[in-house]
A and B are shown apart, each in its own frame.
Chain A
Amino acid sequence: MTSTEAPPVAYLDHAATSPVRPEVIEAMAPFAAERFGNASGSHRMARDARVAVEEARERVAHVLGADPTEIVFTSGGTESDNLAVLGTLADRARSGETIGAVCSAIEHAAVLEPMRAAACGAAAVLGVGAVTLDEVGVSPDGVIDLDRLAEVLGTQTVLVSVMTANNEVGTIQPIQSVADVVRRYAPVAALHTDAVQAAPYVDLAALTGACDLVSVSAHKLGGPKGVGALVVRAPNQLLPLLRGGGQEHERRSGTHDVAGIVGLAAALRVANATRAAEVSRVGALRDRLADALRCAVPNTVETASRSAVLPGHSHLRFAAVEQEELLVLLDRGGVCASAGSACASGAIEPSHVLVAMGVSPDDAGSAIRFSLGHTSTEAEVDQAVDVVANAVARLRR
């Protein structure tokens, strides 16, 4: 906008990405400069980088409640999910028998798409075998149907993937109960959880205790983009997606992103140390936002009950408003929020999560996701309430 002064920014899109924490930038800086070695080499510069990678691995393992040898560094959440899904299926497909995979219907595309690709063409995707896929539905509250999960599990099931909390609506899934059901009805299955969205707010060590595979991504935690980790609990085996120099115990080849890995460890450390306080602080801000919007904007519906969602999530539907239009006015008012996920062209795609929850297409088209995080303030929340209330009033006129 050329002729108006830019409004202050109210950043309420932490679920898309969170600002990098100052402690993280500080920790990473030397590795973007003088400590540039390749961690796979043998001379002093390489050893220096390798020390940084292994110290980071130990810190990450500590927060995640895993052994350092169980940590695989990746390029982020999408790669962690793909490695968990395709790496596990490829390993189990070697038996030549038809194998079963199960996931919730509200998984992130980084889980759903590799699952579907393997089920559609195991030979092409995995090299061998055949895969059946069951996508288990959710309640209107966005929580996986455990009875249905138990029904589809069996001795043929080799992989179950249920996210820790949904990225769009924020609903927290009962992972311990999922784990109990899986151990009982699918004893040979590996249980994967995509903890990318939940990571700032849940006890990751407890999660690792219940699962075989856990995905995290640095940038949702106040770390850098392009780096993440997959916990692979012993004795689970998987085949690598990337082959080459054999880094990460042959599970993920490629020169280590030392700065990124150090950043991931720093972000996890800070997030873990501040978690309890942030859960209540961010939760209170979220309540302030949702309460004020429900008060200021008639016919505002919260998609899921607050007790069931992450502290930073507020997924709201404003009846008779088109999300595409509302986002334009929010952007103009400096409020950064989002609506579901965008397709390659940038258009807003119909949300498979809301469809699975039984939300009508019209209602789904009126939804906006506000997501708060470690930098969120009361001032941002109050600005957002003003801007949203004015925008909705204008669009309903």
Chain B
Amino acid sequence: MRVLVAMSGGVDSSVAAARLVEAGHEVVGATLKLWGGSSDSGCCSVGDVDDARRVAQQIGIPHYVFDMTEAFDESVVRPYVAAHAAARTPNPCVECNRHIKFDRLLERADRLGFDMLATGHHARVVHPPGQPHQLRRGADPDKDQSYVLSMLGQDQLARVSLPIGDLRKSAVRALATELGLRTAAKPDSQDVCFIRSDEGRQRFLGSRLAFHTATVVDSASGAEMGTVDALELVTVGQRRGFAHAEDGTRRYVSAVDPDTRTVFVGRAEDVATSAVRFVPGSVTWTASALGLDAPVIAQTSAHGRPSACTFGVDSDGPGVRFEAPIRPVAPGQTIALYDRADPDRVIGAAIAA
């Protein structure tokens, strides 16, 4: 098969490319230039492109750089900023996968005559004969990235290959070392790729939107507890910075209202939630839609704990009801849904309202 492999310059996609070559495929590497500003991680810096190019040379495949900065700005960066302005907490990796890697790049791979698009994500795509293509958790539970791919559908899964999903991270590094790839010991990328670590989220957002002071209110008593400088930087579920002034007990953010500029906080037991609504129209399915009252498992953040729940639709639209209350879910977060009977299998995804 002819396979286009997206190479970020990290160890996972390096080994993904190497495994495809080893399997006898006709492989071409591509690195996406996604961010016009300065960056020190992810797929954006010159150093990362150099690493990807050198790995491609080492494993003997052609390598190209594709400039998708405009699309990335439009589909990922600007919505990220706009969401924070509306006191929502988006997941830019999910949106990049949705709009860039598994849309624009996949389309480009099609036009260029490739049969498959491969990435170095820790997740698995399996093609059971006669059944829909499946998206499953990666073999390394600590590195599983099925969450950021949970919005893929059949059309995409049919053309996607995830060559390292069956490996643990340690095995990926061992393979890279064995092959003498220069990315073997490169640290994992962290955080949001378009925000420099020495800049930070606060300064990145601060140069792109106005921060507003908000009143902090105890959600149980309604008592005012002080103020925060920037409601745009507060995330629902956040604990840091909101300890009770007198007794020091932990407080969690349960809601942020940008209109009245209020941050609601409370004790864990007061703010726990048993239901999450989805943004109407945001629900996607890897294969077919779930029926009402279907038992599922939901994961509400990239490294969050999966929780048992039931999918349903009522007059307010779709959502899930948890069997035991969970910490509040930030609006804008992706909710990945897994099969209760086959908990590694991704069923679908939605965005928390």
Contacts and interface: CB of A to CB of B under 8 A. Distances in A.
A345 B68 CA distance: 13
9 contacts: A1-B28, A2-B60, A3-B24, A3-B26, A324-B64, A329-B112, A346-B31, A346-B49, A346-B65
Interface string B26-67: 111001010000000000001001100100000011101111
B25 interface: yes
Contacts of B25: 2-3
Contacts of B31: 345-346
B26 A1 contact: yes
B231 to A, nearest CB: 37
A325 B28 contact: no
In this complex, the member of B26, B46, B108, B111 whose beta carbon has the largest number of chain A beta carbons within 10 angstroms is: B111
Given A325-B111, A328-B112, A331-B62, A348 B27 contact: no
B26 A328 contact: no
Interface in A331-352: 331, 344-348
Contacts of B61: 1-2
B21 interface: yes
Given A1-B26, A2-B27, A325-B108, 10 more contacts: A1-B61, A3-B25, A324-B66, A329-B113, A345-B31, A345-B33, A345-B49, A346-B31, A346-B49, A346-B65
A397 B107 CA distance: 12
The dominant DSSP class at the B interface is: mixed
A134 B67 CA distance: 31
Interface in B66-94: 66-67
A57 B298 CA distance: 76
A325 B53 contact: no
A394 B111 CA distance: 7
Interface of A: 1-4, 324-325, 327-329, 331, 344-348, 394-395, 397
B114 to A, nearest CB: 10
A344 B50 CA distance: 9
Contact of A347 (B21, B60, B67, B111): B67
Nearest to A3: B26
Nearest to B47: A345
Contacts of A345: 31, 33, 46, 49-50, 65
Nearest to B53: A346
In this complex, the member of A327, A328, A344 whose beta carbon has the largest number of chain B beta carbons within 10 angstroms is: A328
B67 A324 contact: yes
A293 B91 CA distance: 46
Contacts of A331: 62
A2 B24 contact: yes
A34 to B, nearest CB: 34
A394 B114 CA distance: 12
B26 A395 contact: no
A345 B31 CA distance: 10
In this complex, the member of A2, A4, A331, A345 whose beta carbon has the largest number of chain B beta carbons within 10 angstroms is: A345
B28 A347 contact: no
A2 B46 contact: no
Given A324-B67, A346-B53, A346-B65, A395 B111 contact: yes
A151 to B, nearest CB: 34
Contacts of B27: 2
A325 B26 CA distance: 18
Contact of B66 (A1, A344, A347, A397): A347
* Closest 3 pairs (CB-CB, A-B): A346-B65, A347-B67, A345-B49
Nearest to A2: B26
Contacts of A325: 108, 111-112
Given A2-B24, A3-B24, A4-B26, A348 B112 contact: no
Contacts of B112: 325, 328-329
A2 to B, nearest CB: 6
B33 A347 contact: yes
Contacts of A394: 111, 113
Contacts of B66: 324, 347
Contacts of A346: 31, 49, 53, 64-65
Contacts of A347: 33, 49, 65-67
Nearest to A331: B62
